[in-house]
Amino acid sequence: MKRFKGIVLVVVAMLLGATYLLPALSANAQSSASLSIVPKKNYVIEPGKSVKDTIVIRNLDSVQPLELSLRVVDFTFTDDGGTPKLMLDESAPQTTWSLRPFLTVPQNVSIPPSSSQTLNISVAIPANQGAGSYYSAIIYSSGSGTGAGNVGLSASGATLVFTSIPGKVKEDLSLKKFGAYDIAANGNTSGYMFVTDKEPQSIGYTLQNNGNVTESPVGSIKLRDMFGREQTIDNVNPSGSLALIGQTRTYTTCIKLAPQTVDFNGVKTSANSCTSPGLWPGYYHATLDLFYGQNGNNTQEITGVASFWYLPLWFIIVLAIVILALAFVVWRVVTKIRTALYGPKTKKRLHRR
Amino acid sequence: MQHRLFRFHIHLFNFRSIVPEELLALFLALFIFIVPVSADTRFETRGLYMQSSEPSATTSYTVSLQYMTPQPVGSLDMLFCIDPIPYMPCVTPPGLDVSNAALTAQTGETGFAILNKSPNHIILTRLPSMIMGGSASSYKLDNIVNPSQANQAFSIRLKSLGSIDGSGSQIDFGSVRGQVQTGTVIETQVPPMLIFCAARVVEDDCIGTDDTYYTDMGTLSAKSTLTAQSQMAVGTNATGGFAITANGSPLAAGTHTIDSPTAPTPSVPGTDQFGINLVANNEPSVGINPQGTWANAVTSPDYGVPNQYKYVSGDVVAYSPNVSLMKKFTVSYILNSSPSLHAGVYTTTITYIASGRF
């Protein structure tokens, strides 16, 4: 009997222990830090109306569940590229283009290993909201980052959400720079080129947005060499990249595209990259023709011209040899003519005063 | 010696006589010939209002424009193309159909009726009459079927002509831009996705990690550099690419902080220094260069120099300007301390955020 009581006590103790320990273990359980999200969302919503949409998040980890907390933050531009500067500080002031007051997302989500979950989100625009562009980002923070080390790691994702409210808006793009452009690679910085020994593969143009809406210009570029041969770039903004409010944005486009289809995570994806356009050395002249304008507003046009020299080292060496050879031939001809006309040249005697 | 210099000068003088200074000046003038950037905007008033911007919706378009040239106009040509440039080949926006369009309202220069229409072409006609300058004109066309692709802008190439049938030379021209957009995205294609993972060790495709999200760098010493590394893999099929930022304060124990260099700096033992980079280093030996064949994804310039370390919260450490297959980056951490560093357990959490680009 005593033995039976002992067994019962042990079992009860184990059950009580499990009751206390299991939640604790659950709270401290590792979360996955492998996720797949939608990088960008675009909406057009009239004042007084709302949109309900879904976002699919996948947990790629085959072992750990993905515990995410969601919040909406504002963002602006980092530089003249398309990288967002997320305003993560809880006390960051709301921007004038913030979508935070209108965007509703769930606060937490738990996704089992190797599964996906569809989240409901909504954007509701008040009836008195003025026309323009509004944007914020949804941050998905994983629960990782805990442990006994000095440096904790946490992986998060962000979806950029853009909403356009139609109506009369202020649109004002101005061209700041235009020309051959060297895209950064392998740690090198990018920038415009006027004289280059490397064959240009991209043309760039920099626009300043002084309006109250984001802009995505379309248009074409004509490139003409010193022999009059022309190449046309018929889509100068193939990704539909945006110039944010107040941003000076640099767009780049390939002179010649190398389209290819790649397999990304099991699906066929079209990927374009720049390839050698086969430019001859020499002087090039480029003309830019851009259009922009929101629905119901005036379509505006920007034109620009630029030029650059493509002078590879081999070309400079060949050119120098040709010039020297020509100079030598001219010198020989002049010498022969002088000799024929005036006889052999006598050396001048130098006198010191 | 001076005599030899005079002879050398004479020799040079002869050479100058066969390579004229003018030739050199011309060559230099060609080199410094810079065409400055210039910009101008044509046609101040022309635009398009689409009653509905939903893809494939049947709706009405209102085209507005201001005639600039005071000449008799007998027709107005509207050609619907993807490219707005008049001299470029016209590709009809997929799904667009204006063959059932009806002109239901007009203001300004009026008296027009539809002469011809096809799926992407409308010609308005009237008896030629002189343009009365000043106000803008508008033409409302009903029963137009919107293009079906929401991610592609399209345009209407406009030109006014003296003839009544759209033939002959144009008087004024210009294009208006439109784009269909939708409130809720209809997933007719594979939606863009961004895949990202981070841990001490990750697999190339993010399906597995070592589930370790911290690293113990050891005990601080003024004589040696503590090192550690973590990994992250990333890829996207979004045409805008991705960016990864590193966020979090430098290592701290209470109010005492180990500073981080704000510019790429070599590791200097004996100083308070916490920094990272994303390439292989040998001073100290830590890290691996980015792994993956896809060239689009690169480290940011400041975090891509071997043996140079930096850490500024919010900095972009890696990015791709367009589609990128999976690429794995290894983050190297270095930690140095000065003899005067306040004793304590120095910790931080660095959050790597992968986002799309705009």
Say if B22 is an interface residue toward chain A (CB within 8 Å).
no
Q: Do A86 and B202 touch (CB under 8 A)?
A: no
| Per-residue confidence band for A87, with pLDDT thresholds at 50, 70 and 90 | very high
Nearest C-alpha neighbor of B325 from the set A263, A186, A238, A36: A263
**Minimal Cα distance from B323: which residue of A?**
A271
Q: Which residues in chain B have Cβ-Cβ distances shorter than 8 Å to A60?
A: 195, 197, 205-207
Q: What pLDDT score was predicted for residue B30?
A: 53
% of chain A residues with pLDDT over 90: 59
Task: Quick: pLDDT tens for B266-290.
Answer: 999 999 999 999 999 999 999 999 9
Q: Which residue has the higher pLDDT, A35 or A348?
A: A35
Task: Quick: pLDDT tens for B155-195.
Answer: 999 999 999 999 988 888 888 988 887 654 434 345 789 99
Whether the Cβ atoms of residue B242 and residue B319 lie closer than 8 Å to each other: yes
A-proximal residues of B, 250-289, CB under 8 Å: 251, 279
A-proximal residues of B, 91-130, CB under 8 Å: none
**Calpha distance A236→B97 (Å, rounded):** 26
Q: Which domains does chain B have, with CATH numbers?
A: 46-179 (2.60.40), 194-356 (2.60.40)
Say if B348 is an interface residue toward chain A (CB within 8 Å).
yes
Q: Do A34 and B196 touch (CB under 8 A)?
A: yes
Nearest to B301 among A189, A270, A300 (CB): A189
**Calpha distance A115→A253 (Å, rounded):** 38
The tokens for A15 are: 């059950």
Q: What pLDDT score was predicted for residue B75?
A: 94
Q: What pLDDT score was predicted for residue B16?
A: 52
Say if A145 is an interface residue toward chain B (CB within 8 Å).
yes
| Per-residue confidence band for B44, with pLDDT thresholds at 50, 70 and 90 | low
Q: How many helices (H) and strands (E) does chain A have?
A: 2, 22
**Calpha distance B259→B115 (Å, rounded):** 75
Q: Which residue has the higher pLDDT, A291 or B32?
A: A291
The tokens for B56 are: 């494939």
pLDDT at A185 > cutoff 60: no
What distance in Å separates residue B71's CA from the closest CA in chain A?
23
pLDDT at B33 > cutoff 70: no
Single-letter amino acid, residue B270: G
Task: Quick: pLDDT tens for B255-268.
Answer: 888 989 999 999 99
pLDDT at A282 > cutoff 60: yes
Q: Which residue has the higher pLDDT, B24 or B48?
A: B48
Whether the Cβ atoms of residue A179 and residue A259 lie closer than 8 Å to each other: no
Q: Which residue has the higher pLDDT, B60 or B88?
A: B60
B-proximal residues of A, 101-120, CB under 8 Å: 114
In sequence order, what are the residues at sequence separation of 6 or more whose Cβ sits closer than 8 angstroms to the Cβ of residue A5?
none
Q: Which residues in chain A have Cβ-Cβ distances shorter than 8 Å to B319?
A: 83
Q: Do B85 and A34 touch (CB under 8 A)?
A: no
Task: Quick: pLDDT tens for A14-73.
Answer: 444 444 333 333 334 567 889 999 999 988 898 999 999 999 999 998 888 999 999 999
Say if B322 is an interface residue toward chain A (CB within 8 Å).
yes
Single-letter amino acid, residue B229: Q
Single-letter amino acid, residue A237: N
| Per-residue confidence band for B22, with pLDDT thresholds at 50, 70 and 90 | low
**pLDDT, average across residues A313-342:** 92
**pLDDT, average across residues B307-331:** 93
What distance in Å separates residue B143's CA from the closest CA in chain A?
18
Say if A261 is an interface residue toward chain B (CB within 8 Å).
no
Least confident of B110-119, B206-215, B252-261, B332-341: B206-215
A35, A44, A153: which to substitute to probe chain B, counting the most B Cβ within 10 Å?
A153
Q: Do B350 and A241 touch (CB under 8 A)?
A: no
Q: Do B216 and A149 touch (CB under 8 A)?
A: yes
**Minimal Cα distance from A124: which residue of B?**
B183
Whether the Cβ atoms of residue B233 and residue B326 lie closer than 8 Å to each other: yes
**pLDDT, average across residues B73-80:** 94
| Per-residue confidence band for A351, with pLDDT thresholds at 50, 70 and 90 | low
Say if A64 is an interface residue toward chain B (CB within 8 Å).
yes
Q: What pLDDT score was predicted for residue A262?
A: 81
**pLDDT, average across residues A223-230:** 92
| DSSP character at residue A5 | H
pLDDT at B43 > cutoff 60: no
Q: What pLDDT score was predicted for residue A229?
A: 92
Mean pLDDT of chain B: 85
Q: Residue B248, Cα to own-chain centre: how many angstroms?
A: 27
Q: What pLDDT score was predicted for residue A115?
A: 92
Distances (CA, A) of A15 to A6, A12, A20: 14, 5, 9
B30, B91, B177, B207: which to substitute to probe chain A, counting the most A Cβ within 10 Å?
B177
Task: Quick: pLDDT tens for B185-240.
Answer: 434 345 789 999 999 999 988 888 888 888 888 888 888 899 999 999 999 988 88
**pLDDT, average across residues A243-253:** 94
Strand, coil or helix: B98: coil
Q: Which residues in chain B have Cβ-Cβ distances shorter than 8 Å to A252?
A: 321
Q: What pLDDT score was predicted for residue A26?
A: 36
Q: Which residue has the higher pLDDT, B214 or B76?
A: B76
Q: What pLDDT score was predicted for residue A254?
A: 92
pLDDT at B20 > cutoff 80: no
Say if B200 is an interface residue toward chain A (CB within 8 Å).
yes
Torsion of CA B339, B315, B233, B219, to 10 degrees: 10
Whether the Cβ atoms of residue B106 and residue B115 lie closer than 8 Å to each other: no
Single-letter amino acid, residue A298: N
CB atoms under 10 Å from CB of A145, counted, come to 22
| Per-residue confidence band for A209, with pLDDT thresholds at 50, 70 and 90 | very high
- CA angle at A295 for the pair B111 and A248, rounded to the nearest 5°: 135
Nearest to A305 among B35, B181, B335 (CB): B35
Q: What pLDDT score was predicted for residue A23?
A: 36
Residue B344 backbone class (left: φ over 0; alpha: ψ -120 to 50; beta: rest): left
In sequence order, what are the residues at sequence separation of 6 or more whose Cβ sits closer than 8 angstroms to the Cβ of residue B28?
none
B151, B213, B299, B347: which to substitute to probe chain A, counting the most A Cβ within 10 Å?
B213
Task: Read off the pTM.
Answer: 0.79
Mean pLDDT of chain A: 85
Q: What pLDDT score was predicted for residue A178?
A: 95
| Per-residue confidence band for A348, with pLDDT thresholds at 50, 70 and 90 | low
Q: What pLDDT score was predicted for residue A258?
A: 85
- CA angle at B5 for the pair B4 and B9, rounded to the nearest 5°: 115
The tokens for A276 are: 């050698």
Task: Quick: pLDDT tens for A124-180.
Answer: 999 999 999 999 999 999 866 555 667 888 889 999 999 999 888 999 999 999 999
Beta bridge partners of A156: A141
What distance in Å separates residue B83's CA from the closest CA in chain A?
7
Torsion of CA A213, A216, A219, A223, to 10 degrees: 110
Q: Do A45 and B184 touch (CB under 8 A)?
A: no
The tokens for B35 are: 């065409």
**Calpha distance A196→A229 (Å, rounded):** 20
